[in-house]
Amino acid sequence: MIRKATRLIAASVFLWGLTGIQASPQTRDRDDQSWYQSRDSFYKDEGWRMRFFDRVRDDLNRIQGKTFTDSDDYRIERTKQELTDLQSKLAAGRYDEPELDSVIGALGKVVADNRLEGRDRDVLKDDLTRMRDYRTNHETWR
């Protein structure tokens, strides 16, 4: 009798665990979809240019949560630190093109070298394109 109860409990726990595994990708897919929609909406807002570098940081933070290796994480951390340095200079009213180029290069390495899902790579490529646009048009970027 005790053996049957133990087997029944073990089978129940096993099946319950399988349902949790099945639900997890669905929840993650919904969260991802919501995040991508939020990101798309950000660029439809009039004032997105003023908050662009914060958006890049949000993108990096989101993608960092999905990193595969320490080197992937290191590249993202380095990019975020360089982005912080750039933002500090911009907040002080100093445009530093070499610093911007350094951030662009660091982000380019994340895109080229990190193991990313296709859609996440596209997000960071879009960030790179917008950064390059900022470099070209920083005087009128508003």
More confident position, 135 or 69: 135
- What phi, psi does 106 have (nearest 5°)? -65, -45
> Could you give the CA distance from residue 20 to residue 24 in angstroms, rounded to a whole number?
6
The mean pLDDT value of the chain amounts to: 83
What pLDDT sits at residue 35?
75
CA torsion sign for 35, 37, 40, 42 is: negative
Triad 129, 90, 85: Cα angle to 5°: 85
- Widest distance between CA atoms in the chain: 80
pLDDT digits (tens, 9 = 90+) for 28-61: 566 677 877 888 778 787 888 889 999 999 999 9
CB 42 within 8 A of CB 48: yes
Does the predicted model carry a pTM greater than 0.85?
no
pLDDT digits (tens, 9 = 90+) for 96-124: 999 999 999 999 999 999 999 999 999 99
Instruction: Using DSSP, state whether 138 is helix, strand or coil.
Output: coil
CB 42 within 8 A of CB 55: yes
Closest by Cα among 83, 95, 105 to 140: 95
What pLDDT sits at residue 21?
47
